[in-house]
């Protein structure tokens, strides 16, 4: 059964600077979730219908997204948008244009000084890894590798790919778990819970959407890392959907929707942490509410992805009409078709992408610039770049539409993963993200 374990918190600091209430010993309650492997789940009619709708919609998106699928442009766009939204839930906000320019600067060998862009790019890279090799089982090692890629470029690199060895908590203060909104399992319980979670992720007993929803909730409950739990847990969703074959060519940007309804998302995860046997009325109710909310988010994500694809394809056809009147050469046409996946380019990136000479790449860019498709900009300190501004605007609109929580839906509860050490006490007022 899901149960609470009483634990004694011992003061961490022997030096001054903290009040007695901040640096005291007391009992707190850590939550231990039920194992998942082999458990039977019962879904009410409404939740089952939501899951069925979501699976049908996702399969249709994967099957019918033909306009951009041949160049994998839609998949890259949606993966990038998903990583941006998943990061935004954790307080890492970066515009599409800013992220794209940072990505180009990185490819050109420039040092990126934008720390937020670095973290979000790491999430994009880690998400790319998560969606590769769907035939592989979901293992603790794969989860750790995702986490390693996520945190290695950041200030939290020492924790990358490492299961936590200390108690963490959500809400409350930075110094102890007293008054926390939620205290995850003690560190000694985490390895076995992760092993059980992976066994659950690798069976086919439940519909894929329901399996992904339950696995994600369990991962967030385990909270196995010092930082990066939310982003890793949302990547697990896509690992499951890929492994089950529900998605093969595209990606469902469900984090864009969860970000829009962040309070509902967090509340549903919290309600799934019941106390009592897994077949109790409370457990069944909370599980069905969470699975239904998650399935609805998947269906909405599919609808918005389809709308975005239609907009991008219309834009690409308009570009072809503009370019056609100029008798563009093959390199220019090939570059045009690649722009949805890479809206900001340099001469060198075009050379590498198309396998052409410097002169041919430069000519292709010039043709698109003359047609008003590309606009000169700058990536990094020294590299001249060109961006498809209309496409960047479309990406910005997509993120504003689906992933900009207003004051009623924003996550307001701070996340404090581990108490600060004396060396990090100056960071205590800035909560760590999960």
Domain CATH code at residue 334:
1.10.10.10
User: Region 337-343: what's the mean pLDDT?
Assistant: 87
Neighbours of 358 (CB within 10 A): 11
Is 61 among the domain residues?
yes
What confidence tier does 260 reach under pLDDT thresholds 50, 70, 90?
confident
Is 427 among the domain residues?
no
User: Same structural domain for residues 300 and 351?
Assistant: no
| Residue 244 structure tokens | 């089950």
What's the 3-state SS for the chain?
A: CEEEEEEEECCCCCCCCCCCCCCCCEEEEEEECCCCCCCCCCCCHHHHHHHHHHHHHHHHHHHHCCCCHHHCHHHHHHHHHHHHHHHHHCCCCCCHHHHHHHHHHHHCCCCCCCHHHHHHHHHHHHHHHHCCCCCCCCCHHHHHHHHHHHHCCCCCHHHCCCCCCCCCEECCCCCCCCCCCECCCCHHHHHHHHHHHHHHHCCCCCCHHHHHHHHHHHHHHHCCCCCCHHHHHHHHHHHHHHHCCCCCCCCCCHHHHHHHCHHHHHHHHHHCCCCECCCCHHHHHHHHHHHHHHHHHHHHHHHHHHHHHHHHHHHHHHHHHHHHCCCCCHHHHHHHHHCCCCCEECHHHHHHHHCCCHHHHHHHHHHHHHCCCCEEEEECCCEEEEECHHHHHHHHHHHHHHCCCCCCCCCCCCEECCCCCHHHHHHCCCCCCC
| Residue 232 structure tokens | 């890793």
Q: 377 has which bridge partners?
A: 385
| Locus of tokens 């007391």 | 26
Greater model confidence, 380 or 329: 329
Highest-pLDDT range among 91-95, 295-299, 326-330, 426-430: 295-299
Domain boundary among 251, 283, 308: 308
Q: 5 has which bridge partners?
A: 30
pLDDT at 1: 56
Is 403 among the domain residues?
no
Residue 421 in this model has a pLDDT that exceeds 50? no
Is 403 in contact with 255 (CB distance < 8 Å)? yes
- For 348-377, the pLDDT digits (tens) are 999 998 999 999 999 999 999 999 999 998
First and final CA of the chain: distance in angstroms? 26
pLDDT at 67: 54
- For 136-157, the pLDDT digits (tens) are 899 999 999 999 999 999 999 9
Residue 268 in this model has a pLDDT that exceeds 60? yes
How far apart are the C-alpha atoms of 431 and 419, rounded to whole Å? 10
Residue 24 in this model has a pLDDT that exceeds 80? no
How far apart are the C-alpha atoms of 204 and 397, rounded to whole Å? 37
Residue 425 in this model has a pLDDT that exceeds 50? no
Is 186 among the domain residues?
yes
Q: For residue 280, what are the domain limits?
A: 35-308
User: Same structural domain for residues 303 and 337?
Assistant: no
- For 25-42, the pLDDT digits (tens) are 778 899 999 999 999 999
How far apart are the C-alpha atoms of 131 and 328, rounded to whole Å? 36
Q: Are strands 375-379 and 383-387 parallel, antiparallel or unpaired?
A: antiparallel
CA 221 to mean position of chain CA atoms? 17
Segment among 81-90, 289-298, 341-350 with least mean pLDDT = 81-90
| Percent of the chain topping pLDDT 70 | 84
- For 88-102, the pLDDT digits (tens) are 778 888 888 888 888
Is 318 among the domain residues?
no
Residue 381 in this model has a pLDDT that exceeds 50? yes
- For 206-217, the pLDDT digits (tens) are 999 999 999 999
pLDDT at 423: 32
Q: 169 has which bridge partners?
A: 416
pLDDT at 404: 45
Is 317 among the domain residues?
no
pLDDT at 63: 81
Compute and round to an integer the Cα radius of gyration of the chain.
23
Neighbours of 145 (CB within 10 A): 16
Domain boundary among 263, 280, 308: 308
pLDDT at 25: 76
Pick from 267, 309, 272: nearest CA to 287: 272
C-alpha distances out from residue 368 to 310, 311, 323, 395, Å: 22, 19, 7, 20
| Percent of the chain topping pLDDT 90 | 45
pLDDT at 431: 35
User: Same structural domain for residues 40 and 182?
Assistant: yes
What confidence tier does 265 reach under pLDDT thresholds 50, 70, 90?
confident
- Considering its fold, how many domains does the chain have in total? 2
What is the b/e burial string over 328-338, where b = at least 16 CB atoms within 10 angstroms of the residue's CB? beebbbbbbeb
The pLDDT mean for the chain works out to 83
User: Same structural domain for residues 77 and 223?
Assistant: yes
User: Same structural domain for residues 139 and 210?
Assistant: yes
User: Same structural domain for residues 39 and 96?
Assistant: yes
User: Same structural domain for residues 387 and 281?
Assistant: no
Domain CATH code at residue 98:
1.10.3290.10
pTM to 2 decimal places = 0.84
User: Same structural domain for residues 60 and 148?
Assistant: yes
Segment among 289-298, 301-310, 367-376 with least mean pLDDT = 301-310
What confidence tier does 396 reach under pLDDT thresholds 50, 70, 90?
confident
Segment among 181-185, 360-364, 412-416 with least mean pLDDT = 412-416
User: Same structural domain for residues 304 and 329?
Assistant: no
pLDDT at 407: 33
| Residue 42 structure tokens | 């019962």
Residue 194 in this model has a pLDDT that exceeds 80? yes
Domain boundary among 281, 308, 335: 308
Is 258 among the domain residues?
yes
User: Same structural domain for residues 255 and 355?
Assistant: no
Residue 280 CB burial class (10 angstroms; 0-12, 13-18, ≥19): middle
User: Same structural domain for residues 304 and 353?
Assistant: no
Is 216 among the domain residues?
yes
User: Same structural domain for residues 175 and 269?
Assistant: yes
């Amino acid at each position: 059964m899901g149960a609470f374990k009483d634990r004694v918190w011992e003061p961490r600091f022997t030096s001054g600077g903290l009040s007695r209430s901040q640096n005291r010993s007391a009992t707190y309650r850590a939550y231990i979730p039920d194992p998942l492997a082999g458990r039977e789940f019962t879904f009410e009619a409404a939740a089952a219908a939501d899951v069925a709708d979501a699976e049908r919609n996702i399969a249709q998106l994967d099957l019918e997204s033909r306009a951009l699928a041949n160049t994998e442009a839609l998949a890259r766009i949606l993966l990038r948008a998903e990583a941006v939204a998943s990061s935004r839930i954790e307080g890492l906000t970066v515009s599409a244009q800013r992220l794209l320019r940072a990505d180009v600067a990185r490819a050109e060998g420039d040092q990126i000084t934008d720390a937020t862009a670095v973290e979000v790019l790491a999430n994009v890279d880690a998400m790319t890894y998560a969606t590769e090799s769907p035939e592989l089982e979901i293992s603790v090692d794969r989860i750790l590798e995702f986490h390693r890629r996520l945190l290695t470029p950041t200030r939290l690199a020492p924790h990358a790919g490492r299961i936590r060895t200390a108690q963490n908590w959500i809400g409350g203060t930075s110094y102890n778990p007293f008054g926390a909104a939620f205290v995850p399992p003690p560190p000694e319980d985490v390895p076995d819970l992760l092993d059980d979670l992976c066994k659950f992720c690798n069976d086919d007993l439940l519909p894929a959407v329901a399996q992904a929803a339950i696995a994600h909730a369990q991962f967030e409950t385990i909270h196995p890392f010092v930082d990066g739990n939310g982003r890793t847990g949302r990547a697990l969703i896509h690992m499951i959907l890929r492994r089950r074959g529900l998605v093969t060519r595209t990606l469902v940007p469900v984090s864009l929707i969860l970000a829009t309804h962040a309070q509902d998302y967090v509340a549903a995860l919290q309600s799934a942490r019941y106390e009592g046997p897994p077949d109790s009325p409370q457990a069944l109710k909370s599980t069905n509410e969470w699975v239904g909310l998650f399935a609805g988010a998947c269906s909405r994500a599919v609808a918005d992805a389809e709308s975005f694809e239609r907009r991008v394809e219309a834009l690409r056809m308009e570009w072809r009409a503009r370019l056609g009147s100029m008798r563009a050469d093959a390199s220019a046409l090939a570059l045009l078709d690649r722009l949805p996946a890479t809206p900001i380019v340099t001469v060198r990136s075009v050379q590498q992408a198309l396998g052409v000479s410097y002169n041919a790449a430069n000519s292709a860019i010039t043709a698109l610039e003359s047609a008003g498709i590309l606009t000169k900009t700058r990536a990094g300190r020294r590299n001249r770049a060109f961006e498809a501004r209309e496409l960047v605007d479309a990406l910005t609109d997509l993120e504003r539409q689906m992933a900009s929580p207003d004051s009623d839906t924003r996550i307001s509860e701070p996340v404090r993963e581990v108490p600060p050490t004396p060396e990090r006490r100056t960071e205590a007022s800035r909560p760590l993200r999960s």
